[in-house]
Structures are given as structure tokens and as C-alpha cells.
């Protein structure tokens, strides 16, 4: 998919360097199918197709294994020893070494003299991109389940295993990184057995980096994963599971044919919108687009039709032939935004450009929700909903990298439920949070989202982790042993914890207090009643809306004091006294006072040098232009943004 973006819509926005790097990577890809462009899809009935995914905890080697499989099947050039990660195509993925977008590639592999079509979908490992994983699995019958032989089973190993199991996929357990000196294959295999009931005899032991054991993986894919099913003579049913946007061809959709045949020129219709289209182009992702004339049941490929707007490609939609009635496929549960933040242009006149960039970027990332908002301190902006804070950070980086946007993001907030006597509303922006202490607000109660969290950690750090969880208002703490190794037994700790705690600095604390050994995963745990309030920050009695926070009452003094102190540090002294206050309702929780100063920038310049004085006055005039005026208080724009950034990473 990203190749489609790269070739088209987003290409124009990449800077020259990143384009050059990606182009080099692109032209290193050779393949039998691209040389032999007349790939005949008729040659691959269902029994010769295997659709599979690679699933694992973050960094356990999915993209590296994908590279080796593509090399071994001749899809790309051999480059063992180098770390290409061909399917991680976005600049943000290559810079951070993480996958954020599932990618598809088709390989041809001859087994017992018979050529098979293997469709691989490489998926992200981080919990924020779990939606991407579950969507991709819908096109698969099997999954390679990778576990790092030195790290062992980690938190996301458990969640992705269960997602694959619930979908009834055939799971091939793989122990990766056996080349590492710290690898302990026996212990980790035993963990896989005790945690997932995996038979040790089924576990393939490989080094994706060195290419060891990868041949056996190809064999296992063909032998163990069932072929897809589907009647090629039945009515057309194509599951639309992903899409991207091409400014010349419109929407490019990724489809999995569940029954029937999809040909160029076919007249098709969407079960979701009932709109009709004509298929302009069909093909497979190899990983580049390779045109074919038809797609058969079980096959995974792309189509373009006359879909002009990206919103027309509804993820999870069923496409069928015009005039044929079909029962729609089950589709997908829509992504649920977990955190919200306001995104504003640094220069407020750039808002139209920023809004356009956000619109284009969300075409390639459908899990982001967008709503306009305005702030008296920051001007016009958008409130965006993300699946987590890493997702938010990746989106920010993509806006900067691919759209050259200069933005400022407010502190992430979670969606709160406010129950009134006669209705319930969701609040995604702290400024809209009611004054719950005021009886006239008619608020019955406030609820906050909670998650069911699991932390896997060596036993020695259990105490630290319990302490961390308690400090973040966790409840229902429980733990059990994952393995009983005498030297380094590992424990899985589970609890319910407010989502707002998770999106603060929880993850950083978890890593530092466990020396990097703990892994963490969470899933939606519903809502619970909570004692929350809106904290406003006032400068000289004027509220600064962009800084408002929602806090738990048990932490209000601590939070108020911390931020008032930080504001005191960064706000320059004014010509008058400025009280800085943290306020809940009408009550001042914390206060600092900025003493007055008469700004005489030429005071230090003794005698003569009239030009120097003029230059200083000129400089002062310049910097005044970059001041933010909040009520009567003038604040350098950068200082204000620093506070917002600090709130963002609190
Ligand atoms: N020693 C060793 N290192 C490996 C092996 N496989 C992968 N790695 C390294 O592990 C790191 C993570 O590998 P990736 O392939 O990016 O992992 P991933 O699972 O795709 O990561 P995400 O997509 O971010 O979840 C890289 O530095 C790889 O070089 C292996 O078999 N042996």
C-alpha cells in the first residue's frame, strides 16, 4: 500500500533526501513476477494459495523475517546481514525502526515442484496499532507467531496470540534470534508451552537476521497453513480491508476475494454505500503493484475503480457485482480513539494549510478522528483522536516529515463521560469539562475510561511494578508466574488502571523502574466513576484555555504546584506583578507571584554607541512580534510552546 502512496499522493510531500533513500530501496527490488509482468492468476487456485501474517511483540523481528522470506523467494535481492526492512516504507518507520502500517507482499514459492502464491501481511507490534493487526488478520488463514529467544514471551506476544487464536488462524510458533548469545531457546520454548499450550515440537527455531531456518518456515507455511476457501464460480464477494489515495487514480483499495472473480471492467457495487463503480485496474502487491487481469477466491490484491473520495472506501466493506445480491461479510469493529489532543499551527495564519495536510494524512490512516476547535491562546486548530500516545507522536512526525507542517500539540486527554440528570455526554477537550463542584451544573457523576493492563517482568522487579501501579491509581492487582526458572522467573502482573494514567508518563516509568525489562499491554476496560475536576491556569486572573487539565482530586495539589512552578520559571517578568494560579472551580489550589520588572534593554549599555542601543531596541521590537498576549501578560511564543510540550510529555 505504501508503495501506492509513495508513487502518488504522498510522494510530492516527501523531502528530496527521503525520496532518494526510498527510491534506492525500491529499485533494489527485483522479482520474478515484475520481470515476468504477465503473471497469470488462473495458475493459482485456492489450494495453491497461502495467506499469512507475521505477528509478535514489538521488535521481535517481524520485518526482518519478512525481508528474509522475500529474499528467499526471489521477490527482492538477497541482502543477508543488512537490515533492510523492505516493508517498513514510511520515513517514520525507518527512522524509529518500528512498523506502524501493515504491508502486503505476494511471493511465488515452489514446493514439491508446484508453484504456490504466498501472500504475506507484515503487521505492527505496538499496542497502539492493534487495530491494524486485527484488520490484516481478516485476510489470512495462518500466522507466524514470533517470540524473541532472549527476551521470551512479552505482553504483546500474549495479546496478538489471542487475537489470532480468536480468528481461528493456524498459528506457527517461531523462536527468533537464536543467534544471540543471550538466547535461551529451551526456557522460552517452555514459556510458550506453559503460556499458550504450544507443543515444543511445533516450534521452529530461526535467526531471521542471519537467515537461519527460514527455508523451514516457507515449508511450514505451505504444509501447516490451510489454503483459503472460496467458490470461483459463486457470486463475487470481495472484502475491502485497507485503502490508500492516489491523486491520479483516486482510491486504491486492498481486497481479499472471498468468492467469485474480480476482473478489470467489472461493474461492482458497495454493500455499505450502495454506490456503483467500474473496476479500472486490478493486481497484486508484490510488494509493488503488479497488474493482473483478474483476482480469484483466496487472492489478495489491489483494485482501482472510479472512487474519487477516500471516504467512499469503507474499511470492512463488501464489494459485489452489480445486480447480484450478497450477504455482506462481517466487516470490522471501527477503531476507537483512546486519546485526544488539540493540534494547532505554530503560525496561526497557517491553519488552512494545516487542515488540508491533516485531511490528506488521515486518508492513509483511517483510525484518526478529526474535529475543528479553536482556542483563545492558540487560535484555530483541530482536535484529533488517536489510538494511543505513540500513534499521536507518529502522526505528528508524519505531518512534519511529509507535509512540512510546523505544529504544536496540547496535552493528550482521554474521553470522559459526564452523566447529567437527563443525558450523558463525552468530553474530549478539558475546556469543555463542567464545573462539577457547582450544584447548578446538574452533573450526577463523572466517569473515566479504564484499561485492563498486563505487565510482564522478571520476578525481581515485581515490587517496583506493584508500587508503580499503586502510584497510578491501579486496582485489582493480581499476578502469576509465567515460568518457574530458578534463576530468572518471570511474572505477569494484571490490574485495572485509568487510561489517563497510562497516557501520562507511565510507560517511561515502567521502563526505567524495570531497567527496560518490563513489557506492557492493555485493552479496553470500560468506564468507572471517578473524582475528577478541571484545573485551569490563570495568568493575572485570565485563564489560559490551552493549558487546562483534568485531574484526579487526590493529586490536585501536587499537579497544581508543579505546573504553577513551571510557569513561574518560563514566564518573563512583566512591568507589573503577575499572579500565576492553578484553580479548580473558584478555589485556588496553588499560586506563585511573578514580581514586576521595568524592562530597560539598554540599561547595561554604558555611554556612547548609539547604534548598539538602536540595535537592541530593534531586537526587542522583533521579539515582541513573537510574543503571545494572554490577557495583559506577554509571553514569548517559544516559552509558551515549551510549557505545552512539557504538559504533552508529562
Ligand atoms: N540478533 C538478531 N537480531 C535480530 C533478528 N531478527 C531481528 N533482529 C533485530 O531486532 C530488531 C527488531 O527487528 P524488526 O524486524 O524491526 O522487529 P519488528 O518485530 O518488525 O518490530 P516492529 O515492527 O516495530 O514491531 C532489529 O534491530 C533487527 O536487526 C535475529 O534473528 N537475530
Q: Residue 60 Cα, ligand 1 centroid: separation in angstroms?
A: 5
Q: What is the CATH number of domain 533-648?
A: 3.30.70.2570
Which atom of ligand 1 is nearest to 66's Cα?
15
Binding-site residue set for GTP: 56-63, 122-126, 176-179
The per-residue pLDDT of the chain, averaged, comes to 82
- Give the pLDDT mean for 52-66: 90
Q: What is the 3-state secondary structure (H, E, C) of 142-173?
A: EEEEEEECCCCCCHHHHHHHHHHHHCCCEEEE
Among protein residues, the one with the nearest Cα to ligand 1's atom 9 is 61
Residue 154 CB–ligand 1 contact under 6 Å: no
Binned at pLDDT 50, 70 and 90, residue 586 comes out as confident
- Dump pLDDT digits (tens) for 277-312: 999 999 988 777 888 889 999 888 999 998 877 778
User: How high is the pLDDT of residue 601?
Assistant: 52
Task: Classify residue 212 by its DSSP letter.
Answer: B
Which atom of ligand 1 is nearest to 56's Cα?
19
- Dump pLDDT digits (tens) for 478-489: 999 887 665 668
Question: Which triple of cell numbers denotes residue 257?
Answer: 476475494
Residue 411 CB–ligand 1 contact under 6 Å: no
With a cut of 0.90, is the ipTM above it? yes
Q: Residue 183 Cα, ligand 1 centroid: separation in angstroms?
A: 14
- Dump pLDDT digits (tens) for 521-533: 888 899 999 999 9
- Give the pLDDT mean for 95-105: 70
Q: Of the residues 63, 96, 204, 390, which should be mutated to test ligand 1's pocket, given the most ligand atoms within 8 Å of the CB?
A: 63
- Dump pLDDT digits (tens) for 387-423: 888 889 889 888 988 888 888 888 889 999 999 988 9
Residue 101 CB–ligand 1 contact under 6 Å: no
Distance CA 629, CA 62 (A): 50
SS3 assignment, position 207: strand
Tell the CATH topology of 237-321: Elongation Factor Tu (Ef-tu); domain 3 (2.40.30)
The answer on pLDDT for 606 being more than 60 is: no
Name the superfamily (CATH) of residues 339-412. Elongation Factor G (Translational Gtpase), domain 3 (3.30.70.870)
Residue with the three cell numbers 496499532: 129
Q: Residue 650 Cα, ligand 1 centroid: separation in angstroms?
A: 29
Residue 430 CB–ligand 1 contact under 6 Å: no
pTM, rounded to two decimals: 0.77
Domain range annotation of the chain = 2-37, 41-224, 237-321, 339-412, 417-530, 533-648
Q: Residue 163 Cα, ligand 1 centroid: separation in angstroms?
A: 22
Least confident of 90-104, 173-187, 619-633: 619-633
Q: Residue 591 Cα, ligand 1 centroid: separation in angstroms?
A: 49
Residue range 41-224 forms a domain whose CATH class is: alpha beta
Q: What is the CATH number of domain 417-530?
A: 3.30.70.240
- The closest of 521, 579, 583 to 551, measured between CA atoms, is 583
Q: Residue 169 Cα, ligand 1 centroid: separation in angstroms?
A: 23
Distance CA 595, CA 579 (A): 9
Residue 63 CB–ligand 1 contact under 6 Å: yes
Q: Residue 63 Cα, ligand 1 centroid: separation in angstroms?
A: 7
Among protein residues, the one with the nearest Cα to ligand 1's atom 24 is 98
- Dump pLDDT digits (tens) for 147-162: 999 999 998 898 889 8
Residue 500 CB–ligand 1 contact under 6 Å: no
- The closest of 303, 313, 299 to 283, measured between CA atoms, is 303
Tell me if domain 339-412 and domain 417-530 are identical in fold. yes
- Dump pLDDT digits (tens) for 533-580: 999 999 888 888 888 999 999 989 998 999 899 888 888 888 888 899
Amino acid at each position: 500500500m505504501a508503495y501506492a502512496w509513495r508513487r502518488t499522493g504522498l510522494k510530492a510531500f516527501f523531502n528530496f533526501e527521503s525520496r532518494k533513500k526510498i527510491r534506492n530501496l525500491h529499485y533494489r527490488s527485483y522479482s520474478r513476477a515484475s520481470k515476468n509482468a504477465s503473471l497469470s492468476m488462473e495458475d493459482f487456485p485456492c489450494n495453491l494459495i497461502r495467506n499469512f501474517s507475521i505477528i509478535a511483540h514489538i521488535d521481535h523481528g517481524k520485518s526482518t523475517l519478512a525481508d528474509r522470506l522475500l529474499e528467499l523467494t526471489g521477490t527482492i535481492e538477497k541482502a543477508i546481514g543488512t537490515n533492510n526492512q523492505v516493508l517498513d516504507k514510511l520515513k517514520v518507520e525507518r527512522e524509529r525502526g518500528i512498523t506502524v502500517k501493515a504491508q502486503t507482499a505476494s511471493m511465488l514459492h515452489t514446493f514439491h515442484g508446484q508453484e504456490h502464491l504466498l501472500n504475506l501481511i507484515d503487521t505492527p507490534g505496538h499496542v497502539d496499532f492493534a487495530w491494524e493487526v486485527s484488520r490484516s488478520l481478516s485476510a489470512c488463514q495462518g500466522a507466524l507467531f514470533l517470540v524473541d529467544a532472549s527476551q521470551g514471551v512479552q505482553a504483546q506476544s500474549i495479546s496478538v496470540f489471542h487475537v489470532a487464536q480468536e480468528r481461528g488462524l493456524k498459528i506457527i510458533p517461531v523462536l527468533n534470534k537464536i543467534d544471540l548469545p543471550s538466547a535461551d531457546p529451551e526456557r522460552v520454548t517452555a514459556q510458550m508451552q506453559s503460556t499458550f499450550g504450544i507443543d515444543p515440537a511445533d516450534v521452529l527455531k530461526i535467526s531471521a537476521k542471519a537467515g537461519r531456518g527460514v527455508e523451514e518456515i516457507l515449508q511450514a507455511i505451505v504444509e501447516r497453513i490451510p489454503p483459503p476457501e472460496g467458490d470461483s464460480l459463486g457470486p463475487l464477494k470481495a472484502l475491502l480491508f485497507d485503502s490508500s489515495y492516489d491523486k491520479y487514480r483516486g482510491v486504491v483499495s486492498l481486497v481479499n476475494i472471498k468468492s467469485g472473480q474480480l476482473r478489470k471492467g467489472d461493474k461492482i457495487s458497495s454493500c455499505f454505500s450502495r454506490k456503483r463503480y467500474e473496476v479500472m485496474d486490478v493486481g497484486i502487491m508484490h510488494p509493488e503493484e503488479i497488474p493482473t487481469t483478474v483476482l480469484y477466491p483466496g487472492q489478495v490484491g489491489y483494485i482501482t475503480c472510479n472512487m474519487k473520495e477516500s471516504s467512499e472506501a469503507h474499511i470492512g466493506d463488501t464489494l459485489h457485482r452489480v445486480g447480484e445480491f450478497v450477504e455482506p461479510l462481517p466487516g470490522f469493529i471501527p477503531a476507537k480513539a483512546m486519546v485526544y489532543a488539540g493540534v494547532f499551527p505554530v503560525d496561526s495564519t497557517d491553519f488552512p494549510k494545516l487542515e488540508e495536510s491533516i485531511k490528506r494524512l488521515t486518508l492513509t490512516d483511517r483510525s484518526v478522528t478529526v474535529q475543528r476547535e479553536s482556542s483563545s491562546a492558540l487560535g484555530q486548530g483541530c482536535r484529533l483522536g488517536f489510538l494511543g500516545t505513540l500513534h499521536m507522536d507518529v502522526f505528528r512526525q508524519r505531518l512534519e516529515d511529509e507535509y512540512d507542517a510546523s505544529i504544536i500539540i496540547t496535552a493528550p486527554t482521554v474521553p470522559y463521560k459526564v452523566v447529567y440528570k437527563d443525558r450523558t455526554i463525552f468530553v474530549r477537550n478539558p475546556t469543555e469539562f463542567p464545573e462539577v463542584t457547582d450544584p447548578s451544573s446538574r452533573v450526577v457523576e463523572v466517569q473515566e475510561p479504564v484499561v485492563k493492563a498486563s505487565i510482564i517482568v522478571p520476578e525481581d522487579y515485581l515490587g517496583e511494578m506493584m508500587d508503580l501501579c499503586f502510584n497510578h491509581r491501579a486496582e485489582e492487582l493480581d499476578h502469576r508466574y509465567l515460568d518457574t526458572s530458578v534463576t530468572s522467573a518471570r511474572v505477569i502482573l494484571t490490574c485495572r488502571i485509568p487510561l489517563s494514567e497510562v497516557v501520562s508518563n507511565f510507560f517511561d516509568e515502567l521502563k526505567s523502574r524495570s531497567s527496560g525489562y518490563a513489557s506492557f499491554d492493555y485493552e479496553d476496560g470500560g468506564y468507572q466513576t471517578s473524582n475528577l475536576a478541571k484545573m485551569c491556569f490563570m495568568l493575572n486572573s485570565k485563564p489560559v484555555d490551552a493549558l487546562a487539565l483534568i485531574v484526579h482530586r487526590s493529586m490536585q495539589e501536587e499537579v497544581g504546584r508543579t505546573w504553577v512552578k513551571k510557569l513561574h520559571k518560563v514566564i518573563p517578568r512583566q512591568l507589573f506583578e503577575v499572579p500565576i494560579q492553578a484553580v479548580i472551580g473558584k478555589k485556588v489550589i496553588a499560586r506563585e507571584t511573578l514580581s514586576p520588572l521595568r524592562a530597560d534593554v539598554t540599561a547595561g549599555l554604558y555611554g556612547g554607541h548609539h547604534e548598539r542601543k538602536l540595535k537592541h531596541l530593534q531586537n526587542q521590537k522583533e521579539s515582541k512580534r513573537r510574543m503571545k498576549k494572554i490577557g495583559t501578560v506577554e509571553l514569548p511564543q517559544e516559552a509558551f510552546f515549551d510549557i505545552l510540550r512539557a504538559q504533552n510529555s508529562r
